[in-house]
Structure formats: structure tokens, C-alpha cells
A and B are shown apart, each in its own frame.
Chain A
Amino acid sequence: MIVHTKPGVARRRVLAGLGAAGLLAACAVPSGRTAPKVVVVGGGFGGATAARYLRLWSEGAIEVTLVEPNRRFVSCPLSNLVLGGSRTLDELTRGYEGLARHGVRVVHDHAVALDARRRALRLAGGAALPYDRLVVAPGIELMFDRIAGMSEAAADERVPHAWKAGPQTLLLRRQLEAMPDGGVVLIALPAAPYRCPPGPYERACQIAHFLKRHKPRGKVILLDANPQVISKAALFTRAWSEEFAGLVEHRPNAAVSAIDLPSMTVTLELGERVRGDVINLLPPMRAGAFARAAGLVNAGERWCGVDWRTLESTAVPGVHVLGDATAAAPGMPKSGHMANQHGKAVAAALVEQLLHQREPAPPVMNNTCYSFIDDRHAVHVSSVHRWVEAKKTLEPVAGAGGVSSLTREAWLQEGAYARGWAQAIWSDMLA
């Protein structure tokens, strides 16, 4: 017999479960007769992985429905290379057919409302999907209203965030192509936490890579709301001072509070005004819209608290939240790799709970996040996250994890690993 939790923990969780919805769920799902139903909201790195691994690990014994409005998945990781010019968006796009082959029912619709009491999810198209457990992986939403003069329409047409790979990525690429040589590109990034901590710095490298070849008198200015480069600082700083000398300027403590679209000028919190020929404005971020609609946001009005053993919401029983929408555990980045790990942890937990009526062992997760410097060189940051019983959370393992060495030779080798990573993880979630 294998019992994965310490008796005291198991007791508390059993009692808690019986006190709330756990007993109802257990009664509603007689093992071996009716297949438990799991509905997954969101088909990104977290949700797609959860759906796929639920089918694999339950050996088909759990019914899985994935609700995702987009017909195709477009990877945010590597999408900065579209700006740099070494990748096309099509190369980063995959379909959901692979999940269907695993028996996942893929529904292209928007989740709009949650009836937690009846355990049903309502879709924009009118359908109501019953579930035994709901997995919510809604990604992030951009808080345009935090920047005076900014709006979603402005992002679509004039000042793209391109922080969800797709049409805005292509718009930003066209703007770079149309910009005169000698032009200034502003990348404004919010205070942490936000999706993909190294992403804005990788983007600065990729745009500089483009400028260096096509508009060498141009310049990228990073307007960083943070007091310093918050990810892979020594690596990016090295690239900006050597490979991209004169092409990238990083300004710390430079939070943007307003934008004037006609003059293409942003205003910093301290009053300074900065004009850009191209402006890539990343507003502050919060959990995706459905998380708020479902009452799952309970951390700082922006993120969703979870129990990291199972990723079950601390706000709504029977609902598990994963990916960027979660209130991150200490030292845990909002990354696609991390969301992929969350997806497997949820799948493992639900297989244990729904099919075997037992609590899962706390997961061990890791993160390896590559950033491309140019078309061939890449750098990484890594970490391993383990359950700390005394603190009831996952924490980075001291002494594990780290960043790339500072040699160009190592970065070239890591470029090959970064390409391998992308192929592997896209397959791990969608194949």
C-alpha cells in the first residue's frame, strides 16, 4: 500500500474534504461505473498539458473536455524571434487535433460562468458542461486601465503589447519594418509579477538583433518599472553591452503611467515624457477574465491562491487553477514551462483523487526557461521547487537551479537546447 501523505496531513485533508464538497464528489463518482468528468478551461501550456496527461494517466478512465476559444495554439515562447526575424508565427502554431486523438473533447467556445454548487460550467454558446472537477488555466489579462490613455483597441491598432502571441506580434513586426532608421523603440514593462519575467529583456535583444542588421542607427529603450533587470540580469546586460552595444538602453524605476497616442509619447510616474517611433507597452497583468468571473481571484485582487499539493483553489472547492493565473509560490516564475509542470501536477492529483480516492504526494516541479539573444544564441534560468511542509508551499531548493555561464560558446550550445525545448514541450502538451 502506498499512502503519499503523512497521516496527520491525510487526516486533515480527509476531514476537510468530507466537510465540504469532497463527500458529494466521491458519492457522485462511484469508481468503476461512471467515468469522472474533468473540464479544463484554457488550452495553453497549463490547460492543454493537464488535459493530455489526465487522459494518459487515467488510461482513458477520466472524461476530459477542453474549452478553448482559439482554434489554434500559438506559442508565446519563441514569439520574440518573429520580431527578430528568424521565425514565422506559423512555425510556432499548432492545432488541437493531437488532444482529440487522446480522447479529449475539444470545445472552441468561451467559458463565461461557473455554478460551483451544481458543478457546471456555462459557455458563451449557451451549453452547460457538468464536471466533477474543473481545471482553470485562463492565462493572463492585461490591465489597460492602469495606463491613462490606453485601451484594448489601442493595443490592437497602434501600441501592441504582443504578450499573447498572434496578430499583435505581427503588427509589432510590421511597425519595426516600417520604422525609419534612427527610430526609437520603447518597450515598457510592468512591475513584477507578470507573465514571463525575462520576456521583455529577450524582446529587447531580438529587436536589437533586427535593428543591427536593418536599421543600425535605431535604438531600443526598455522602460522598466522594476528597480533592476529582474531575470538573467548579468546575461542580458552582457549582451546589451557587447553584441548590441549602443542599441539597447535599460532604464530602471521607469514605470509608465500614461500614454498620448497622437504624439506617441509616454509619461513616467515621475513626470518625464519619452517619445517612441514604435511603442510596445506591457500594462500590469492579472489572472485571465474567467478566473475573476468564477470567483477564484483571492490574492491581491489579481491572482488565484492554490494549495500547491493539488493546485486546488483556496477560494472555490473542486476547482483547480494553474499556470500564470496562480498566485505564484515563492521564487516561482510565470512561465510556460512552469505551467506545463502545473498541468501534470493537477493531472496526477486528480487521477489519485478521482480514481483511487487517495491524496497525491506533493509534486516536485522544475523550471527551465530559455531566452534567445539573437537567432542562434540562448541563455537560461532554472530552478527546482519542492513542498515545504512547515510552510505549506513549494519553495525553490537552495543550491539547485541557476543561470547560464557567460561564454558565447555556451550560449551557442544552449541555442540548440532552446530549440529542442520548444519542440519537446509543444509535443508534451499537444501531440
Chain B
Amino acid sequence: MRFPTLCAAMLMLAAARADAAPAAAPSRMLAASCSGCHGTHGQGGGAMPALAGLPADHLGALLRAFRDGARPSSVMHQLARGYTDEEIAALAAHFAGLPRPAHGAGVRP
């Protein structure tokens, strides 16, 4: 593919600035699709389980179980089917990196 110099320059500019960018913008935006229900920082509240601080392998397995129908739910089995394996891994890693909320709300076993 022909690649215009201008575009290449822009890409280099983006590369130069990537270091200064907050980490992991894409997973942040992905996770924000969860925060309308689970809280801005994944803290949960009321009947909504907290996601923040859950081990990544646990949350990843949970989301895949919702998606594959292995774990029943009211809505999560429908939503999880909209996300890819890579996105589920990114979401799990994102929430694992957030502090666990003090009130201890969590995904019920």
C-alpha cells in the first residue's frame, strides 16, 4: 500500500507522544461500557457487583462462562456475547488493576 509521507509523519508524531499518554486507552474505553451499571471505577453498589480488584483470571473466566452459557444470568449472558476473547482479557486485566472497594461488594460465588 502506498503510504503518504504526511500520514507517516503523523504516525511518527503519535509514536513520539504515546509515551506520555495515559496507559491503555482502549481498555479504559472498553471498561467504560461496563461502568454505567458497575460504577465509574468498577466499584459496584446495591445489587450491582463490584468488578474492581477481581483477579484477572477469575473475571475473565466469569465473562467467558456468561458468554458460553455455562453460567446463567439475567443480562450478562446477553452482553458478554458482544465481546471478543481479546476484549474480555483486556477488561479482566483492566478491572484487576483497580483498587478493591472498601464495602466489599463482589461477584457472588
Q: Knowing A337-B36, A428-B40, say if A345 contacts B46 (CB, 8 Å).
A: no
Contacts of B45 in A (CB 8 A): 420, 423-424, 427
Scoring B residues 43 to 59 as 1 if CB is less than 8 Å from chain A, else 0, what string do you get? 01111100000000000
Interface residues of B (CB under 8 A from A): 1, 3-4, 6-7, 10-11, 13-15, 17-18, 20-22, 25-26, 28-30, 32-33, 35-40, 44-48, 74-75, 78-83, 87
A178 in the interface (beta carbon within 8 A)? no
Q: Knowing A10-B7, A384-B81, A402-B78, say if A364 contacts B37 (CB, 8 Å).
A: no
A419 CA to B46 CA, complexed, in Å: 8
The size of the chain A interface, using a CB distance under 8 A, is: 62
Which 10 A-B residue pairs are closest in the complex by CB-CB distance? A384-B82, A420-B46, A400-B82, A400-B81, A420-B47, A416-B47, A1-B15, A420-B48, A397-B82, A344-B32
A386 in the interface (beta carbon within 8 A)? yes
A107-115, A271-279, A349-357 - interface stretch: A349-357
Q: Are A397 and B81 in contact (CB under 8 A)?
A: yes
Contacts of A421 in B (CB 8 A): 36-37, 48
Which secondary structure dominates chain B's binding surface? helix
Tally of A-B Cβ pairs under 8 angstroms: 153
Min CB distance A170 to B, Å, is 26
Interface residues of A (CB under 8 A from B): 1-4, 7-8, 10-11, 14-15, 18, 31, 53, 56-57, 59, 337, 340-341, 344-345, 348, 351-352, 355-358, 360-361, 363-366, 368, 380, 382-386, 397, 399-402, 404-405, 410, 413-414, 416-417, 419-421, 423-425, 427-428, 431
Min CB distance B3 to A, Å, is 7
Contacts of B33 in A (CB 8 A): 341, 344, 363-366
Contacts of B20 in A (CB 8 A): 356
- What is the chain B residue whose CB lies nearest that of A413? B74
Q: Are B39 and A428 in contact (CB under 8 A)?
A: yes
Q: Are A1 and B48 in contact (CB under 8 A)?
A: no
Q: Are B37 and A11 in contact (CB under 8 A)?
A: no
A53 CA to B35 CA, complexed, in Å: 11
